[in-house]
Structure 1
């Protein structure tokens, strides 16, 4: 079992990664401090993994709340529904929420945990690649608004993140590929050696070989844990984790949440950010080619929607959380392994790229 720690003082918590984690009930129960447990999941994961998780919780008072599957359901209406269910169950601070599912379930459950009675404990059990390498770690919780993604939320850390890599065997190929966009992102922004490892281990990853998956997920979590420990609330360094997201969130909002998967939109966004970097002479053409090729190797889109114009992008990007004093800030790679947050991108450059 790979074990990492997100170092946040008294709010520190472990990330545990193993191929058969669901077969070890004690790994879950060790992190429970309440006898009441409510599992929040979606209607797909409910059938696949709720039975084994509920079996691991024998002796606890366990309930579940099932939400629809899909990014379009990460909204205030579903948030209110979950709150109402908790009230009907007489849940309180003596109840632990368990987020069992992908990024939508994790983000929404975390926001509920942060908000309900001003805070209740919760545990992340991510079941998609994207949630395992990114959204389950770091305490960002949120729901979407029609005008912008993740606009309503809170920073709220879980008690633990428990990752069973076997859950990836039931993940559709498209969703696995979408998760790879976030994986590749870590190599681009922070770790050139990891980027090389991804280039050299494409086949092992595609065939979901356990050793490759465990190393890959652990490395992504380690990078994110290191960054979050330095900058928990995204006042500086943590912003580089948003490479591709300013463009990507605009695509998601414009096309409709769930039409483009989050990772697919991020992939196109990474390429757009890399085009900006080449135009500013921050990224060599050969490095751009390697980034684009690695994304394409995992069947990810590297071109934005053809029916989105400059004005479509800017309308949504104006709602980006990195906007300060009316200025747009972008995460841009400065070579593979390093990224910066900058407002130096001119309108002329943006129009040339997004037209």
Structure 2
């Protein structure tokens, strides 16, 4: 069912938000631990505990292909009205109680002795899927000006021990995006497995230094709960400490597995969002970030599950804009499929390079020197692709 939004212009008055009643489908994700438990109980198959990775790496890519794309944009005249609808906010708010209810349920199952080690690891991967996609919920909330939403963003990040993302993404990545200085922008010729440690370590250091510098401007030391990195990490300490206190140290390995799986899911999304794209320098300064500096996708299935994250160019142009109002740009480079499919490709570097390297080069009219090159492969890539274009 489509929902009409009444606005003043004759063309705009007929615009309908075709995804309005699809957004709650994203709440199926935090229900994955119960889905896994139910399937395991119904079928007796241990594979069911791995429902999270199966959905992300198998089922969601199929839906990307089967459902197709939607490039419809809301008219400018409805954007303010659309962003003011609280219905869309509750589609994100409700993710969090379901996320933590699933984590508590999993902790009880890990402590109960009902699961063998392999099944328990599968459940940890499924819980990590929820936490990883929960980082995207935190991303949506953390960009807003409302104090409650910013606090909820930190809550969502606590499960994956990634509270520094709240600072680094907003004040680091958005400033340095599509430049060699950004740890979260991947480079042409860089595999996901080389990008992962660079981004994880670099984002951690960046978040800490950004907060240390902010506090230093007020003559404060960084070792204070006024430090948004420390107070975000403190939430993780409270969450993990409470769970361990209630369910015992037996759950510690699985809490760590789900956290690493979760933030790794974020990092593979980081990897594909700006792969090989580079903002050119005007003198000593980089050009302003534009739609051409982010890979985009209009695949409906992934967009519904990720709150329009795939309309990434508009997000970088308007970081505080709410997900339901993000727009498609015709001049933005487009991925061959949605994020769910591209994540699978990123895990297989030869396949990723075969699909994406030609698209990066085509985006820069064949001039490899205009791309964000992996330094250790620079000479090899220059030799392979040539430097004949200006």
- Using the size of structure 2 for normalisation, the TM-score is 0.27
For CA contacts below 8 A with separation 6 or more, give which structure has more relative contact order. 2
The structure in which a higher percent of residues are strand is 1
The structure in which a higher percent of residues are helix is 2
User: Which is higher, the Rg of structure 1 or of structure 2?
Assistant: 2
